[in-house]
Homo-oligomer: A and B are copies of this chain.
Amino acid sequence: MLDERKLAVLRAIVEDYVSTTEPVGSKSLVDRHGLDVSPATIRNDMAVLEEQGFIVQPHTSAGRIPTDKGYRLFVDRLSSIKPMSTAERRAIETFLAGACSLDDVVTRTVRLLAQLTRQVAVVQYPSLSRSAVRHIELVSLTPQRVLLVLITDNGRVEQATVDLPDAAEPESIAHLRAVLNACLDGHRLSDAAKTVAVLADRIPVSERPNAGAVFSVLLDSLADRHEERVVFGGTANLAAPDFSRGLRDVLEALEEQVVLMRLLGEAASPSALTVRIGAETGLEGASVVSAAYGAGGQAVAKLGVLGPTRMDYPGAMGAVRAVARYVGRILGEA
């Protein structure tokens, strides 16, 4: 029902509209692309495409613009991911190579993605549950309060303060630390729950309330809650006339971790790209291109860009894919 030429017309409409921001008409289409037919023919094709819901007219006697469905078809079948130029690859590499901590990697990745795509970039911190404990440190702040620091094998450092039910002697804290490190060192955080259950045996009864407080913070607070940390950047790119009305919604979504997580979508295998278009994102007129990244074949988190529905999908997909790969590599080394 959609022959070659009609698909070509749709592709041309998407490309033109993305670059000009204006409804594209039959005449300019034949001019700008090497279509060897007359405008009238194109008009017939466009009528069919409109009937099928791929394009619409904003008003009578205007050109056509793609619908979400039109972009969908474009992304799925009519476009190919645009590979990065060698200059861009080099820029990515040098930009990320200078990072000296996990925070630094994430921060730089956000800036990089935002710059490459000229959109808002979103990066999720690597998941803790898949990483292993390298070291646990307990530092007493006051007699009834300790600082718990968790260091994982992928270089992530998490901290939390724990309020103890009883005042604790320095020795008992030292003992607790020793026990924790002895039992958890090298273990996956996702397995930690079982391991911790066994631990109680090794703690003197008098210390158990305190130990329990530390355990629960370790499990709940660190493993679960912080797992969802997501940062964003490049909001200045929203100031373009895009998002004329939805701007506030977009900015609010960005500052809401939960929404941000949902935007990045379900976990997928590394470097598989996910594209959500328009209504699929839950945000009016916005699209999200995202990918999982990870070290050594294991997906640990996601990153992506958010832009107007009318965005350069091939370019964004290329950038997201490339950055996801490089970040995975960097993390793998660390």
Cβ A159 vs Cβ B103 within 8 A: yes
A33 CB to nearest B CB, Å? 33
A256 CB to nearest B CB, Å? 10
Cβ B161 vs Cβ A157 within 8 A: no
- Interface residue stretch chosen among A10-18, A43-51, A230-238, A262-270: A230-238
A79 CB to nearest B CB, Å? 29
A198 at the interface (CB under 8 A from B): no
A100 at the interface (CB under 8 A from B): yes
Cβ A239 vs Cβ B255 within 8 A: no
A182 at the interface (CB under 8 A from B): no
Interface size class of A (residues with CB under 8 A): 35 or more
Residue of B nearest to A151 (CB): B139
- Per-residue interface assignment for chain A, residues 148 to 175, with 1 indicating a CB less than 8 Å from any chain B CB and 0 otherwise: 0101010101011100000000000000
A99 CB to nearest B CB, Å? 9
Residue of B nearest to A252 (CB): B236
Residues of B within 8 A of A234 (CB): 255
Residue of B nearest to A235 (CB): B251
A116 at the interface (CB under 8 A from B): no
A324 at the interface (CB under 8 A from B): no
Interface residues of A in 227-255 (CB under 8 A from B): 233-236, 238-240, 247-248, 251-252, 254-255
User: What are the 6 A-B residue pairs with the smallest beta carbon separation, nearest first?
Assistant: A239-B248, A236-B251, A236-B252, A157-B159, A239-B247, A101-B159
16 contacts between A and B (CB under 8 A): A100-B160, A100-B217, A100-B221, A102-B159, A111-B255, A134-B139, A135-B137, A137-B151, A145-B334, A147-B151, A234-B255, A235-B254, A235-B255, A236-B251, A236-B252, A239-B251
